[in-house]
Amino acid sequence: MKIGIIQQANTTDRNENVSRLQSKIRDLASKGADLIVLQELHNGLYFCQTEETGIFDQAETIPGPSTHSFGQLAKELGVVILLSLFEKRAPGLYHNTAVVIEKDGTIAGKYRKMHIPDDPAYYEKFYFAPGDMGFNPIDTSVGKLGVLVCWDQWYPEAARMMALAGAEVLIYPTAIGYESSDTEDEKNRQREAWITVQRGHAVANGIPVIAARRIPISGSGRRNDSSCRN
């Protein structure tokens, strides 16, 4: 299986962000990608750095606009796409949810982020309720995907339960690898810890691990990265 990974620096223009994502998906599909993984909450900026009730207006239902538009693209290109969305499950109930779109454009399955951080500049508990779907791989045409999200990466039990349930690969849509306001020494320490824990999941469970995080560059310095791996 060839896997495409998109890591994109976003702006406040959500429509433009989505347009660039879809362009990158087309590019990766043309390079032979079978599965394309997007970063955490890929349609906009990472908004959990403040607590603002107006941001809840960004949430959407599943199925909804994003699963529809990316589903059409998946069907057109014949690829599996992993989305990461701000889900409005019901009035007052929201989740950080990963959704797998099958090659025919249908929803193969979803996973609601289980471990929710609450630290300065990462006020996710203000926005997201913990997931309630357990740790179950999602069956797709490219294999059984053990989908988790960002902060779940620090919990070996989550990876292990996915592997024991038959996951053939672990996937982590992610927002960060370290805090941008830290000193350079602390950034390096956090980066190494982030890389090490991902390697640990792969080694302990004997399966590949995919992690796609944001590129912390915006404005005139914005850059977009996408790549394919076998």
CA distances from 192 to 185, 195, 225 (A): 11, 5, 21
> Is residue 163 a contact partner of residue 146, using CB atoms and an 8 Å limit?
yes
Could you say which of 24, 40, 87, 103 is catalytic?
40
- Number of residues in the chain: 230
48 has catalytic annotation = no
Q: How far is CA 154 from the centre of its chain?
A: 15
SS3 117: coil
Q: Which of 24, 48, 102, 150 is catalytic?
A: 150
Task: Give Cβ neighbours of residue 13 (< 8 Å, ≥ 6 apart).
Answer: none
Positive or negative CA dihedral for 121, 127, 130, 134? negative
Q: Which of 48, 88, 113, 228 is flagged as catalytic? A: 113
Residue 84 phi, psi dihedral angles, 5° rounding = -135, 110
DSSP E strand boundaries for 91-173: 93-101, 107-112, 118-119, 122-123, 138-140, 143-147, 169-173
228 has catalytic annotation: no
Task: Determine whether 113 is an active site residue.
Answer: yes
User: Prior bond to 63 cis, omega within 30?
Assistant: yes
Q: How many CB atoms lie within 10 A of CB 118?
A: 11
Helix (H) or strand (E) holding 5: strand 3-8
Residues with active-site annotation: 40, 113, 150
